[in-house]
Amino acid sequence: MGKYIKLFNTHAEYEAFTATTEFIKPNVSVCKQENEVHYNPHTWADEYLTTVALESGTISFNIWRSMGTDMITSISYSTDNGETWTTTNNVNDKEEHLTIAVNVNEGDKVMWKGDATQLGYNDEDDYGDVVGSFFSSTCEFDAKGNVMSLLYGDDFDGETTIENDYAFANLFSDYDEENECLVVNAKDLSLPATTLADYCYYYMLWNCTSLTTAPELPATTLADYCYNGMFSECTSLTTAPELPATTLAQFCYDSMFVNCTSLTTAPELPATTLASNCYQYMFASCTNLTIAPELPATTLANYCYESMFGGCTSLTTAPELPATTLTDFCYDSMFNGCTSLTTAPELPATTLVEACYQYMFQGCTNLTTAPELPATTLANYCYRSMFNDCASLTTAPELPATALTDYCYSYMFQGCTGLTTAPELPATTLANYCYSGMFMGCTSLTAAPELPATTLSESCYGSMFRGCTSLTTAPELPATTLAKSCYTRMFNDCASLTTAPELPATTLANYCYSNMFYGCTSLNNITCLATNISATNCTINWVQNVAASGTFTKAASMTSWTTGNNGIPNGWTQQNS
């Protein structure tokens, strides 16, 4: 038998030849066989977009009724390796959605191409439908080949630029939550574009619960929202694709892997300069993710890490966070609900910005050690609810700032039921709601820190120790000029508190003492030197459910007190100071 060489241009040609011809594959290093077969190195990027049925059923391409010819001119498919094509022309003003359905058996391949500018969109039509096009199926299938054939038809080869926004948005997603897309393996799905457009892969594989393998994503420069939600709800996805991009864009990775509950490892994220919202919710609710990627960026952006690992209940170690210059909301809720996290990363910044750490470790119930917080320049909401419900936290970090901002410490340690000692609070310049709910529900806290401020702000101490059922010692409250709701519910339900701090102010403010000692069932000693209690609801329910008997010390000149929940407790002895 003579020796021959055969060349193949496509994988389809190679498969057709090998199905009918016997030959021996060569040893690449030393070809000793009589017959040799050479073929050009195969890449699925050279092939039309192809769906390969894994079982019998129907694979459909759907064009929403308001998706006009300005976006999609026609869609074609072939079931015989491109020998013949069936073309369906799109029309404007369709009364119904246009569905191109192909019946398949296990192993059947369907090639797809189109004449289009974009396939997805994110706007509602006159019927309230989100406009776009998408694949759906009644059978599981693999997606292979070059997705650009849907835009460029036969001329897709070498196209690496996506021109229009939403080009492939929702393409394989459970688009309307009625027509699911049962794609399983997208490893050989080629997304060759290196120049992206805004929203180009937006929710492209959303809710593909059968998807186990993702395609490669070669772009290194991203566009706004380009991967937003791309694999969201892909609950069978075990491995994320590499993400080599170093130039990010706003919302580029937002919600990309939300609720990918089988994902155990995150890809590397090499970018050192971030964009607003770039990693927002990226791995939220990935409940099997155990290790976070390194985050080397030192230049942050607003909301860049917001809720990035929220609900990652298996995450045990947080990445280092080396940035010293922060941006608004940059770490907001970053590890919220990470119930296996035991140690927090260092937070070296000394100047804070709005809401930068708010909710950062909320619900991290196994966090035992808080990071040092050296900042002395605070911002509104900067620490709000930062350690809320960190039930294993026993020691709070030092808080050296002396000038506070609105809501800066509000609910910071709420629900930290293991916290036994509060940090020193040296601040003398307060702000609205600055300490509101700070230690609310800290049931192991026995002593309150000193509160040296003499000038108060609205609700500054509101609910500060509410529900601290072990608190036996209250701080001095030296202020004589009060503010609206300044002490409202401050000691509400502090069942172990027996003696109230002296209240030296003579003129009260609206709601200033409202519910202040409500539910302090052991409280039996109050000294209040007020002589003017005419402010709106200033003492409403302030002593409801205190001890049945006790001593109330009042100003000698004060004759306006009533008895009951809004005044001097019933059954108590009254005396003048």
pLDDT, tens digit (0-9, with 9 covering 90-100), for 353-363: 999 999 999 99
**pLDDT-wise least confident of 167-176, 325-334, 414-423:** 167-176
On the question of pLDDT at 33 being above 70, the answer is: no
Give yes or no for residue 10 having a pLDDT over 80.
no
Query: Which residue has better confidence, 26 or 138?
Result: 138
Dmax over CA atoms of the chain, in Å, equals: 124
β-bridge pairing 525-528 and 551-554: parallel
Please answer whether residues 438 and 409 qualify as being in contact, where contact means their C-beta atoms are separated by less than 8 angstroms: yes
The helix (H) or strand (E) run that includes residue 72 is: strand 72-78
Cα separation, 79 vs 156, whole angstroms: 19
Position 121 scores a pLDDT of: 78
pLDDT tops 80 at residue 30: no
Give the up-direction half-sphere exposure of residue 568: CA atoms within 13 A in the CB hemisphere.
23
Q: Are 369 and 396 in contact (CB under 8 A)?
A: no
Structure tokens at 331: 């770490």
What HEC string does 87-148 produce? EEECCCCCCCCEEEEEEECCCCEEEEEEEECCCEEEEECCCCCEEEEEEEECCCEEEEEECC
AA letter at 430:
L
Averaged pLDDT for residues 377-381: 97
Q: Which of 26-30, 194-198, 381-385 has the lowest mean pLDDT?
A: 26-30
Q: What percent of the chain has pLDDT over 70?
A: 91
pLDDT band at 180 (very low <50, low <70, confident <90, very high): confident
Calculate the CA 297 to chain-centre distance: 18
pLDDT digits (tens, 9 = 90+) for 182-229: 999 999 999 999 999 999 999 999 999 999 999 999 999 999 999 999
pLDDT of res. 31: 38
Coil vs helix vs strand at 370? coil
Residue range 527-551, pLDDT digits in tens = 999 999 999 999 999 999 999 999 9
Lowest mean pLDDT, pick from 119-133, 135-149, 510-524: 119-133
The alpha carbon of residue 525 and the mean position of all alpha carbons in its chain are separated, in whole angstroms, by 48
Please give the Cα distance from 129 to 137 (Å, whole number): 20
Structure confidence at residue 36 (pLDDT): 47
Please tell me the predicted confidence (pLDDT) of residue 83: 96
Instruction: Indicate the pLDDT class of residue 119, thresholds 50, 70 and 90.
Output: very high
What span, in angstroms and rounded, lies between the C-alpha atoms of 394 and 414? 13
- Across all residues in the chain, what is the average pLDDT? 92
Please give the C-alpha separations between residue 469 and each of 425, 476, 545, in angstroms, as whole numbers. 21, 19, 14
* pLDDT surpassing 80 at residue 284: yes
- Predicted TM-score (pTM) of the model is 0.89
CA angle 109, 114, 115 (to 5 degrees): 170
User: pLDDT tens digits, residue range 415-438?
Assistant: 999 999 999 999 999 999 999 999
Q: How many CB atoms lie within 10 A of CB 365?
A: 20
Total residue length of the chain: 577
Distance CA 355, CA 202 (A): 28
Please write down the HEC assignment for all residues of 192-204.
Answer: CCCECCCCCCCCC
Contact 439, 464 (CB under 8 A): yes
* Position 320 confidence tier, pLDDT thresholds 50, 70, 90: very high
Q: How many CB atoms neighbour CB 50 within 10 A?
A: 25
Span 36-63, mean pLDDT?
84
CB 369 within 8 A of CB 394: no
Q: In what order do the strands lie in the sheet with 49-53?
A: 86-89, 72-78, 109-116, 49-53, 141-146, 189-190
Instruction: Estimate to the nearest angstrom the gap between the alpha carbon of 394 and the chain centroid.
Output: 27
CB atoms inside a 10 Å sphere around CB 194: 12
Residue pLDDT, tens place only, 60-94: 999 998 899 999 999 999 999 999 999 999 999 88
